[in-house]
Structure 1
Amino acid sequence: MVRRCILRPGFHACAVPSSSDHDDFDRGSFAADSLATGFLVMLAMTVVQRSFGFFRGIWFCRLLEDASVGQWAMAFGFITMISPIMLLGMPGSLPRYVEHYRVRGHLRAFVRRLGISTAVCAVLFSVAVAARPAWFGWLIFLQPDNLDLVRAVGIAVIAIIAFYFVGELVSALRQVRVVSLMQFTQSVTFTFLGIGWLVSGGGIVGLVLVFALATLLAIAPGMRTLVRGWKGLPQSEDPFDASVMWRRIVPYASAIWAMDVLANLFEMSDRYMILHLSPGGDLAGQAAVGQYHSGRMIPVLLISLASMLSGVLLPYLSADWEAGRQTQIPRRLRWILTAVSASFTLGAALALLAAPTMFETLLENRYQAGLTVLPMAFTFCIWSALVTIAQNYLWVVERGHWVAAALGVGLIANLGFNAALLPVWGLQGAVVATLASHGIVLVGIWFALRRWGYDLDRTTLYASLWPAALLAGPWVAIACVLATLTVSGELRSIFAEAGIAQWCNRWAGRWRQQPDPSG
């Protein structure tokens, strides 16, 4: 089959002649799940998975002291922060380029080179932890003598790197059900093993090792799928030019790496500043982080859900781009962003109504400071969720460095606001600073999307303002979302274009056609 490269100003994407070529590959090795199936499976698995995560978080807060909760929050935050940074952004390029190399018959060579590079990065990190454990102990926990905990964190980082690479590859192949099963397995296994460990009297070091074990076990479904489908991949007779691959991958991976560095620094900066700038020493700082962790426990579930949505969406948008269906990308993204903002805001409002009872009973009234910052935490977490999904457009058009730029501005703002407000207002000041900096990042992403061809309309304004209404109270937020959905013609056209009404009518017709079981 002859393929032609379509040159566009500022872009270097090669397209295949028609979407039927992609369909041929979809029917072969690694038959892709449809986008609708992917979303439905992911949502169903996420509901169950996050229920386990919420249950696990409640019990961790009940079984651990404030300072120990802070230690776990810092350990988990460092594990998730350092892993993509150490990999230099290379596995992050899989969702964008797997389809590109797959249709050209060079996927094996592409994945093999990225896998070797990832393994080298993991080894270098292990050597660094073994050589300077005291420094890592001070950085993560403000305790340079806690070497056993540092070593446990190093093991968990290696486990997460393996999980991350396999998960990114399986997701890039559009095996959504398998990725969902991996994440579900990791969450459920860690829930039972972690709570069991703490109930039996175990400490933080063992808890981190249990997390590493659960992560390694969760890789099994993805590896099984890769082994079964790998031999059936199309193989081109043309030689693979590694230099051409690296010239294309390195700029993209560099943008991914910069985004990962800035996003994770941005995510952890408020907790590090609370830990290091709170008066009273390391224990007081860890206790303050523990209170902050309790206030973020429910809101971060929305970010996790958005990350999963984003991970499912990117390979499909990339496939549309490679097949020449570029006009579908903004339409898909617009209705997804609108639906996410509306549903997340309504869900957050309901959670705020139930939060006082939950903090008083489930958390034994020990985390009142976390309860007070909950509305702001919901607001900036929903904004972060919108950024997580919206940035896919920039990655597809290979302008991911704009994501890094927006995060860089937000990180500088977050550090400055925290330094000014935290000594004056304490934990409240840190959360206000984080809220303001997330707003800056959201505005930066909207600007970048508009710069590269994404038309902003009133739906973008609605999606941005709905979460902010939570600051005025849950009932105000509910009224704002419902009123806007009722009166806005733009929103009605968005959901009509997405086919939601037709889908509902189709299913209603099928239901009416079902025979009456009573006869």
Structure 2
Amino acid sequence: MSTREHIVRGFKATLVSRAVYMLSSALLMFVLARVLNPDGYGALYWAIGILMVAQLFADLGLGKSTARYISEYSEKDEGQIPHLLQSAIVYKLVVLTVVAYALLLFHERIAIVLGDPDAAPFLAAGVLFIIANSFSGFSMMAFQGFNRLGYSAAVQAVSGATRLVFAVAFVVLGFGALGALFGYIVGYAIAGAFGLTVLYFKFYRTYDPAEEYEEGLSRRLAEYSIPLTATRSANVIDKRLDVVLVGVFLTPAAVGFYQLGKQITDFVLAPAESLGFTISPNFGEQKATGQLEQARRIYEESLTHTMLVYIPAAVGLVLVAEPFITMVFPEYEGAIPVLQILAGFIVLQAITNLTSDSLDYLGRARHRAIAKGGTSVANFGLNIVLIPTMGVVGAAVATVATHTVYVAVNLYILHSELALRIGRLARSVGTVCAITLVMAVAVSLVRPMASSLTMLIATIALGAAVWALLAVASGMVDPREVRSVLG
């Protein structure tokens, strides 16, 4: 199987899983937002934001570090892989034990310090949340290292589907926001058990362990997790700590508005995340075999097609955000400006999803960690300044501003590795912007008529049709290739 065919196959598998995951997440978002009201919805996701900060210390960078070395030793010495997995599991159990015990011991004090003693039960239940989520995520990353993305896809799909079923069931049974959190826990636990079972029987047991564990490999596994931990810390600041700060400075309802906007952007970003998750292991393999020219071509094609989708999508989201929120989530009008500002973040994050993991597999995790750490500290500072003065809009502005810098640095580092053809990429992006402009004019002309959900869907469909027509007419999309990929 060629590299292109392997990427297409992995992308399709991952995209299907992301579709299941994001569809289940969208349904969960819709049900919880309707049932819990802005205050309850905000309280739930404020608690989850705090738990995801704690999750950082429970996971460190072990999952990605393990994936990186699995990818490398799949080419060099497969006998080391069982030893790698054993070391990773031992490290993870030790760290999880420490973090879980600390959270159980101090959950009430943490809730009081953050200004909401009522959050204590959520944080106590968070011990189970962290353990279940940790093993679910670890198995997904390990499968990525093996470049067996179908299994990663399956774990994610199981997680999303079971989380939806149990969270909705517990809320309907009257357990409220805390019941929804336990739905998350059950979903992650089932996905983690499934992932670890497959990892053991389909991978660990199929390799004959080398007689000796390569000297220093266990140490390198732990050491490489350090810059990845720094990067993950920065990701937590960008994606979770802002939610926590909104809750600290504002109200649970404000958290609900901000979280809803972020969840909608996550839904839009699912395809780019799937593609980034798919192509990045190939970079590690190609660097190990000296095929960087092929890696460059793959990245440039992926970036061009990603921009073709996400620049128009972001502009379209700005145009339809107000009628969409008003019709679908009438109690959440405060989310409209958040969603419009975060449309810019969608383009930036789409680039990041393609680039970040690729840098890790190219061995540039330390440099990416430095960039991510710097911009995340800036993001934290801007949130402290802007949230009290601008409200939830300030958090969105801080996210877009700092992420712009991070994306620029990432692209520079990747360019130093792959020598990207800047002129060619610039011409492609220029064509995308022209297509987007025409699409935006078409949507703007009919948007005033979008007085019902049916008309809003028709407006979005018109924009999509104009985009598709121009994408084909400009030569940026070949219908035959699309049919080939989908087939």
**Paired residues, number:** 463
Tell me how far apart the structure 1 counterparts of residues 435 and 169 of structure 2 sit (CA, whole Å): 37
CA 1:231/1:397 → structure 2, altered by over 3 Å: closer, same or farther? closer
Tell me how far apart the structure 1 counterparts of residues 20 and 431 of structure 2 sit (CA, whole Å): 26
Q: How does the TM-score come out when normalised to structure 2? A: 0.84
Tell me how far apart the structure 2 counterparts of residues 459 and 380 of structure 1 sit (CA, whole Å): 24
User: How far apart are 1:458 and its partner, in Å?
Assistant: 4.0
Instruction: Select which of 37, 41, 46 maps to 1:74.
Output: 46
Instruction: Select which of 145, 163, 175 maps to 2:148.
Output: 175
Q: Determine the structure 2 residue equivalent to 1:434.
A: 399
Give structure 1 stretches of 5+ with no counterpart.
Answer: 1-19, 27-32, 279-284, 511-519
Tell me how far apart the structure 1 counterparts of residues 138 and 313 of structure 2 sit (CA, whole Å): 32
Paired AA for residue 405 in structure 1:
I
RMSD (Å), alpha carbons: 3.5
User: How far apart are 1:483 and its partner, in Å?
Assistant: 11
Cα deviation code 1:140-199 (max 9, x no counterpart):
x63235432211112101101111122211222222222211111111111122112212
Tell me how far apart the structure 2 counterparts of residues 254 and 447 of structure 1 sit (CA, whole Å): 22
Task: Please tell me whether residue 423 in structure 1 is matched to residue 388 in structure 2.
Answer: yes
Tell me how far apart the structure 1 counterparts of residues 83 and 33 of structure 2 sit (CA, whole Å): 46
Paired AA for residue 185 in structure 1:
V
Cα deviation code 1:188-226 (max 9, x no counterpart):
111122112212211222221221111111234433433
Is this contact kept in 2: 1:379–1:468, CA < 8 A? no
The 5-angstrom pairing of residues 442-461 of structure 1 reads: 442-455=407-420, 457-458=422-423, 460-461=425-426
Task: Please tell me whether residue 377 in structure 1 is matched to residue 346 in structure 2.
Answer: no
Task: Please tell me whether residue 166 in structure 1 is matched to residue 144 in structure 2.
Answer: no
What is the SS of the residue equivalent to 1:455?
coil
Q: How does the TM-score come out when normalised to structure 1? A: 0.79
Task: Please tell me whether residue 133 in structure 1 is matched to residue 107 in structure 2.
Answer: yes
User: How far apart are 1:306 and its partner, in Å?
Assistant: 3.4
CA 1:224/1:158 → structure 2, altered by over 3 Å: closer, same or farther? closer
Tell me how far apart the structure 2 counterparts of residues 388 and 328 of structure 1 sit (CA, whole Å): 19
Q: Determine the structure 1 residue equivalent to 2:158.
A: 185
Q: Determine the structure 1 residue equivalent to 2:291.
A: 325
What is the SS of the residue equivalent to 2:216?
helix
User: How far apart are 1:397 and its partner, in Å?
Assistant: 2.3
Task: Please tell me whether residue 108 in structure 1 is matched to residue 82 in structure 2.
Answer: yes
Tell me how far apart the structure 2 counterparts of residues 324 and 155 of structure 1 sit (CA, whole Å): 44
Q: Determine the structure 2 residue equivalent to 1:335.
A: 301
Instruction: Select which of 206, 209, 214 maps to 2:179.
Output: 206
Tell me how far apart the structure 2 counterparts of residues 377 and 96 of structure 1 sit (CA, whole Å): 31
User: How far apart are 1:98 and its partner, in Å?
Assistant: 0.5
What is the SS of the residue equivalent to 2:363?
coil
Paired AA for residue 117 in structure 2:
P
The 5-angstrom pairing of residues 255-404 of structure 1 reads: 255-278=227-250, 285-363=251-329, 365-404=330-369
CA 1:34/1:471 → structure 2, altered by over 3 Å: closer, same or farther? closer
> If each structure's helix is expressed as a fraction of its own residues, which one has the higher value?
2
User: How far apart are 1:51 and its partner, in Å?
Assistant: 1.8
Q: Determine the structure 1 residue equivalent to 2:453.
A: none
Is this contact kept in 2: 1:160–1:215, CA < 8 A? yes
Tell me how far apart the structure 2 counterparts of residues 297 and 470 of structure 1 sit (CA, whole Å): 27
The percentage of counterpart residues that share the same residue type is 19
Is this contact kept in 2: 1:379–1:471, CA < 8 A? no
CA 1:503/1:484 → structure 2, altered by over 3 Å: closer, same or farther? closer
Q: Determine the structure 2 residue equivalent to 1:233.
A: 206
Cα deviation code 1:395-454 (max 9, x no counterpart):
122111221222222223323333333333222232222221111111121222233344
Tell me how far apart the structure 1 counterparts of residues 429 and 244 of structure 2 sit (CA, whole Å): 28
